[in-house]
Amino acid sequence: MATKTQTVLVVEDEASIASFVSAYLKNAGYGVRTAATGGEALRQVAAEKPALVVLDLMLPDIDGIEVCKRIRQESDLPILMLTAREEDVDKIIGLEVGADDYLTKPFNPRELVARVRSILRRATPERAARESAQLKHGDLVVDAGRREVKVGEQEIQLAPKEFDLLWELLDHRGLVLTRDQLLERVWGYTFAGDTRTVDVHVRQLRRKLGDASPIVTVWGVGYKVSPARDAA
């Protein structure tokens, strides 16, 4: 697939978890670096430019959420968060934090590798292909090249997957997309994943976009954007 080895930075202070995650990733063909603190993670992200970060929530110095936020201020670098608590999930992939995906501990290392592969497969080519494309819906304007969303004159800050999800729905307006289809198209899953991720992102999008949200729930099926409010 990739011609040059992609490097994954594993950020986890528990040595046993860091080492088995690293072993599975190396076995899958990735280069692996590790960091045991948030501070070290930020240093490595700045210096080494990894392709993806596996980031534990609980770290001894700066917690994973803060690390994720700081990375997000600089870049769209893909981030897979690890958490021990299901309650943290909304926060992690939502509003301020903006991780690409998450796994709840304990997790199957094969699933971690599958998620890493999915995220990386989706990370770059499609975004580049959409360069300069723009989709509109009423007052809502989504600019793929700038990765910018506006309602009227007001810019709305979206997490990367919120942006991708909104784009996917707008780009297929009028069609109902099931949660599994959205997982596959936005997150790159080729297996039946946890569709709660989709619902959490839709909820966040609605909250951020308010009345300008074009997303309609089709009960028992999935989501769609109605074609009715199309602007030219």
Rounded least distance, CB 11 to Ca ion, Å: 9
Buried b (16+ CB within 10 A) or exposed e, 71-91: bbeeebbbbbbbbeeeebbbb
From the list 49-57, 70-78, 183-191, 221-229, the region that binds Ca ion by CB under 5 A is: 49-57
Of the two residues 14 and 199, which places its CB atom closer to Ca ion in the complex?
A: 14
Q: Whose structure tokens read 């700045």? A: 46
185: region left, alpha or beta (phi > 0 left; psi from -120 to 50 alpha):
alpha
If the CB atoms of residues 10 and 135 are measured against Ca ion, the closer one turns out to be 10
Q: Which of 7, 31, 39, 58 binds Ca ion (CB under 5 A)?
A: 58
Rounded to a whole number of angstroms, the minimum distance from the CB of residue 13 to Ca ion is 5
Q: To the nearest whole angstrom, how small is the minimum distance from the Cβ of residue 212 to Ca ion? A: 39
Q: Which is nearer to Ca ion, 14 or 180 (CB)?
A: 14
How many residues touch Ca ion under the rule CB under 5 A: the total is 4
Query: Left (φ > 0), alpha (ψ -120 to 50) or beta: where does 112 sit?
Result: alpha
Alpha helices in the chain (DSSP H): 15-27, 38-48, 64-74, 89-93, 109-123, 125-129, 160-171, 179-182, 196-209
The window from 54-62, 65-73, 98-106, 158-166 that contacts Ca ion (CB under 5 A) reads 54-62
Least distance in angstroms from the C-beta of 8 to Ca ion:
17
For residue 67, the minimal CB distance to Ca ion (Å) is 12
Give the shortest CB-10-to-Ca ion separation in angstroms: 11
Each residue 10-39 as x (binds Ca ion by CB under 5 A) or -, in order, gives ---xx-------------------------
Residue 167 is encoded by which pair of tokens?
Answer: 């784009």
What interhelical angle do 109-123 and 15-27 show, nearest 10? 60
Asked whether 148 and 191 are in contact (CB, 8 A), the reply is no
Nearer to Ca ion, 82 or 169 (CB): 82
Q: Site for Ca ion (CB under 5 A): which residue of 8, 35, 38, 56?
A: 56
A 10 A CB-CB count for 217 gives 13
Chain positions 184 to 203 lying near Ca ion, rule: CB under 5 A, are none
State whether residue 222 is helix, strand or coil: strand
Q: How far is CA 100 from CA 87, 113, 140, 212, 228, in A?
A: 17, 14, 23, 24, 31
Minimum CB separation of residue 84 from Ca ion in Å reads: 8
Which range of residues in 25-33, 48-56, 105-113, 118-126 is near Ca ion by CB under 5 A?
48-56
- Interface with Ca ion (CB under 5 A): 13-14, 56, 58
